[in-house]
Amino acid sequence: MVGYQGGKRRIGHHLAAVINEYASQHNLTKYMAPFFGCGGVTMHVTLPCRVASDLNDDLIQLWTQLQQGTFTMPTAAEVTKAHYEELKAGTKLKAGAKLKAGTKHEHTSQSMRAAYGLFCTSPLRYMSSFLKNGHNKKNTPQRLLDGLDEMKHEAQSVFLSVEFLPGRDYTQWKPRGGWIIFCDPPYLNACGYWHASTQKRMSFHAEKFCKTAGEWAQKGNHVFVSYNHAPLYQPEHWTRVWSSDFNLGTRTKRFERTEYLWFRGPTESQPMDAE
């Protein structure tokens, strides 16, 4: 699976195991992921009904096209800095507008822009290095194509039954009850998040999010939040059900981070046991 900054590639199966067990105990079948990203948790969730979206509509367009087999894979010759700049400049085009990729192939500006963006923020950042420095043995367009092939395989296998909804902000979700909702919002100390449609970095209001998540639970939903701190709004109503320390960084610069999984269920439900 493609890794990127803030993704759950390394720990997704642990978080999903907690969610799957809880769903089995309470006979729940509906799962929602408002912060889908690359699906590091969703890919391990076994509920029959899975719905996903993300504020990054470019990314959702990419996943949808890969899943449906409508994404035209570029050639290595088409993956260039000029193409990347062309796609960035196309942000003012209407959703679904097409830009020529240099030869006979075409891609929607949204989906291919998402592909570039993902591999510019992967742990190795090889696309970012390629766009700055050009070809070398480690940073080649083929690595982007290999990554897209891997994403296509996942989209048509583990994500085949996922219903991808158009990109939307989490506040637009109005679940009526009975859903398991998994959220992976930006960390408290993050400087913000990238808004694909405007190509601008937006601030994220953590307390507002925690309040919204609490309202979902009060309406009969079962909410799990992966965070690096306790929820900021009504923390007494949340239970920490999983945590782990792990190392991040590069070979020369390492640091530790603790990841927590918090839970809040409907008022009438029995709370989960704390870890």
Least confident of 114-118, 162-166, 234-238: 114-118
pLDDT at 86 over 80: no
Any idea which residue has 């990054």 for tokens? 56
Kindly report the pTM of this predicted structure: 0.83
pLDDT of the residue at 174: 93
Angstrom distance (rounded) from CA 24 to CA 46 = 10
Across the range 8-32, mean pLDDT stands at 94
pLDDT at 268 over 70: no
pLDDT at 226 over 80: yes
Q: Is residue 275 part of a domain?
A: no
Last residue of a domain, one of 155, 183, 216: 155
Those residues with Cβ within 8 angstroms of residue 2's Cβ, 6 or more apart along the chain or in another chain = 9, 38, 118, 119, 122, 147, 150, 151
Q: How are beta strands 200-202 and 193-195 bridged, if at all?
A: antiparallel
Residues 98, 73, single domain; the answer is: yes
Choose between 198 and 150: higher pLDDT: 150
pLDDT of the residue at 257: 76
Last residue of a domain, one of 110, 135, 155: 155
Residues 171, 235, single domain; the answer is: yes
Those residues with Cβ within 8 angstroms of residue 263's Cβ, 6 or more apart along the chain or in another chain = 22, 222, 223, 224, 225, 238, 239, 240, 241, 271, 272
Residues 183, 252, single domain; the answer is: yes
Angstrom distance (rounded) from CA 139 to CA 184 = 30
Those residues with Cβ within 8 angstroms of residue 135's Cβ, 6 or more apart along the chain or in another chain = 141
Structural domains in the chain (count): 2
Q: How confident is the model at residue 26 (pLDDT cuts 50, 70, 90)?
A: very high
Instruction: Look up the domain containing 125 and give its range.
Output: 62-155
